[in-house]
Structure 1
């Protein structure tokens, strides 16, 4: 992330640039606004800090030009005391902040850091929105919790290195989506992504389907120079596991009809429905195959570990379902909100998506197993939803939430424990 610093005063520009450098912020000083504006593109990773009073092209013209190129690039205006009304007017039109001269350097640095973080989030959201439509499962990795931020960061990092990956996650968490994101962000993106559901592959057909025959090269061969995704790999028989081990170790397909082995250039991403270490202990999975597959492990957290992301995900799925069925996006009723915040979501994102469809179609709110919820459960879930809303407004501060709800801190803590709620999930970064 970079700061484009624009000021025609050479001494002041140099001093401010030194301030940013000391603070560890990358900076590009510009005396001419036009040279700086040539750097502004929709994917520009940075912000603009500009003086207002400059000959030829003032700060307002700079703001207008930046805004025209990308309205979400933060612009900070440096202004003398007499220009403050103009700076305030610019903020009303969308400027990020103004810094009145003379200013304290720590105030300038703090404001720029906020602007850089705002821009980082904008670019991150754009990237995610661009990737989501390409995901065949449409299970987006949406979320603001630390767990999801760490998962997205891990995917970005691992996509750039040629290592095999083992994805761990419960049913419905989106393991195939993670595999596809690893592929789409890698250097192999122009080649095939071949997904194989090992559980749906009968043992008597596995040999030909995976390794090929005289008439066809097989699915592993289809993935040459691309990515091979092996889902539910723990469903493979011992015989097929042995052949797969050879492919992983040598990157060669076994010879067919007396021919020679054929080299394949693969990146292998595998996922299992259960604990592979336990499967090895029970003799159901080869230990040497596990060691080959688990070069890097990526764990997808279940919804119950990131409950603060549930409302955001649900709104996304509501919009998706409303467009699919040609219905309006419904308002959330108390029973719906209550279930969102208390249901264990054993089916994870897939179950949440199904619930969004049911909500759009105005089907009764149920517990997902036994029919309509009893009154006591509806009341409990409603209370939990109210508590979650208070915690969100209070940014996870239990004392403030307790005051808003007119209950004691001890009483609120008791309810948090009863409903399995974690106040820390609602704290905002910074």
Structure 2
């Protein structure tokens, strides 16, 4: 498919005048056309590398259009094939559709209807190719690429930085929004380091009550406090030789920050209720949503002890090209775990994925992907819209998005819903939203909305 075209059509017709006229109509509609005067002449184009669709007359000297369709489907199983039929061939064309033809056009045909059918077929073909590309991309990944999925420049840069500091055995701070995958990156740092054969011990400092977190980190002796019936090994000691991941470290109480600093400086800890020092050899990876240097509640001496290396995780809204790949990864994973056939993305689904702002980042995407994989009855738009109320409660401390982004998201959603209600009827949408045709067209182009996706 050439750059700027709306698709590629392999046109097969033995009548030169019809073939030449059809070719001109299709080119005027923005389609790339490959012409052949016989089925035999068309066969060399039908290889695995062919990315277009097939439009063929049925009755031709030598190999017929039906025979050509059979050969085409043997080589490219899901290739959309549109048949051009005479008036007396309708029954035969209907039978051909049962055998896998995409559609048929009866002679004499209306050029506009032909073009509309071909564009739909090209879009379907493009979707098939994109799904195959995503599946192939996922299957070919290994090492860090299989663990931290993404092809965007931002995520590729982050992965290069990760590999460069993995073996440095220094403390690291990972910055990223809620749900962006900070623990996954911390695990990757551990797995690509010399400590990989030892433990990776994660703890969420913001999820543990203040009166328990000291015991969680440093452990305690029996009788150290009410309820301490027996000795408990803390996370620092449990991670000895490996990596300790302190998520949401910004929420750590001030008095505990002093003890963490001392443990890092001296390389030893004391359990609660004990005077015995215990040496520990660990690498600490901390994670935070906000810049710790600017946090007046966070000790600067601890910040500098941790901030030997830094990694920044870009939010999903800044890497939309990664979203379909990530989404299909979680869809395939959920389907495989439950022995189900993996559900494929539609063209509209992919547009929705790329245009959504993902305030909950990868955590939100994963939740929706699992539900999408397990329930074929629910559309992606409904899943995403239903997720928003959950995010509002789960992520109350998330930094609000800029007003312009929120307004654009709301505007896009209103137009989408109007298109769905009126099944792509532009005039009805204009009337409901009180918008001039030109303004509506501009907004639909801005948000990547296509009327044909909403036709009944």
TM-score where L is the length of structure 2 = 0.51
Aligned residue pair count: 259
Q: Which residue of 2 aligns with 1:199?
A: 206
Question: Shift of the alpha carbon at 1:166?
Answer: 0.1
Based on CA coordinates, which of the two structures has the bigger radius of gyration? 2
- When residues 319 and 259 of structure 1 are mapped into structure 2, their CA distance, relative to the original with a 3 A threshold, is same
Q: Secondary structure at the match of 1:268?
A: strand
- Could you tell me which of 335, 339, 342 is aligned with 1:329? 342
- Could you tell me which of 170, 173, 177 is aligned with 1:163? 170
Question: Shift of the alpha carbon at 1:416?
Answer: 10
- When residues 260 and 357 of structure 1 are mapped into structure 2, their CA distance, relative to the original with a 3 A threshold, is closer
Question: Shift of the alpha carbon at 1:319?
Answer: 1.1
- When residues 216 and 374 of structure 1 are mapped into structure 2, their CA distance, relative to the original with a 3 A threshold, is closer
Q: Secondary structure at the match of 2:245?
A: strand
Q: Which residue of 1 aligns with 2:310?
A: 297
- Could you tell me which of 295, 309, 321 is aligned with 1:279? 295
Give the Cα separation in 2 of the matches to 1:257 and 1:331.
Answer: 57
Question: Shift of the alpha carbon at 1:180?
Answer: 0.6
Q: Which residue of 2 aligns with 1:174?
A: 181
Give the Cα separation in 1 of the matches to 2:271 and 2:342.
Answer: 56
Question: Shift of the alpha carbon at 1:323?
Answer: 1.8
1:15-62 Cα offsets, whole Å, 9 max, x none, are: xxxxxxxxxxxxxxxxxxxxxxxxxxxxxxxxxxxxxxxxxxxxxxxx
Give the Cα separation in 1 of the matches to 2:138 and 2:244.
Answer: 32
Q: Secondary structure at the match of 1:125?
A: coil
Larger displacement relative to structure 2 (254-263 or 320-329): 254-263
1:274-324 Cα offsets, whole Å, 9 max, x none, are: 3323322xxx22122112111111001111111111111122122112223
The answer to whether the 8 Å contact 1:338/1:378 transfers is no
Question: Shift of the alpha carbon at 1:374?
Answer: 5.6
- Could you tell me which of 293, 301, 319 is aligned with 1:306? 319
The answer to whether the 8 Å contact 1:335/1:378 transfers is no
Q: Which residue of 2 aligns with 1:9?
A: none
For 1:25-424, list aligned pairs within 5 A. 125-128=141-144, 132=147, 141-214=148-221, 215-254=231-270, 257=273, 259-280=275-296, 284-360=297-373, 361-362=375-376, 363-364=378-379, 365-366=381-382, 367=385, 368-369=387-388, 376-377=415-416, 418-419=446-447
Give the Cα separation in 2 of the matches to 1:123 and 1:351.
Answer: 23
CA-based RMSD: 3.3
Give the Cα separation in 2 of the matches to 1:309 and 1:416.
Answer: 23
Q: Which consecutive residues of structure 1, in runs of 5 or more, have no partner in the other structure?
A: 1-120, 133-140, 382-410, 421-430
- When residues 198 and 417 of structure 1 are mapped into structure 2, their CA distance, relative to the original with a 3 A threshold, is farther
Larger displacement relative to structure 2 (202-211 or 367-376): 367-376
Question: Shift of the alpha carbon at 1:335?
Answer: 4.0
- When residues 315 and 255 of structure 1 are mapped into structure 2, their CA distance, relative to the original with a 3 A threshold, is closer
Q: Which consecutive residues of structure 2, in runs of 5 or more, have no partner in the other structure?
A: 1-136, 222-230, 391-409, 421-439, 449-456
Question: Shift of the alpha carbon at 1:255?
Answer: 6.4
Question: Shift of the alpha carbon at 1:206?
Answer: 1.9
The answer to whether the 8 Å contact 2:268/2:277 transfers is yes
- When residues 223 and 417 of structure 1 are mapped into structure 2, their CA distance, relative to the original with a 3 A threshold, is farther
The answer to whether the 8 Å contact 2:250/2:292 transfers is yes
1:49-106 Cα offsets, whole Å, 9 max, x none, are: xxxxxxxxxxxxxxxxxxxxxxxxxxxxxxxxxxxxxxxxxxxxxxxxxxxxxxxxxx
- When residues 415 and 145 of structure 1 are mapped into structure 2, their CA distance, relative to the original with a 3 A threshold, is farther
- When residues 258 and 126 of structure 1 are mapped into structure 2, their CA distance, relative to the original with a 3 A threshold, is closer
Give the Cα separation in 1 of the matches to 2:213 and 2:170.
Answer: 25
TM-score where L is the length of structure 1 = 0.54
Give the Cα separation in 1 of the matches to 2:372 and 2:272.
Answer: 53
Give the Cα separation in 2 of the matches to 1:370 and 1:204.
Answer: 32
- When residues 189 and 416 of structure 1 are mapped into structure 2, their CA distance, relative to the original with a 3 A threshold, is farther
The answer to whether the 8 Å contact 1:227/1:266 transfers is yes
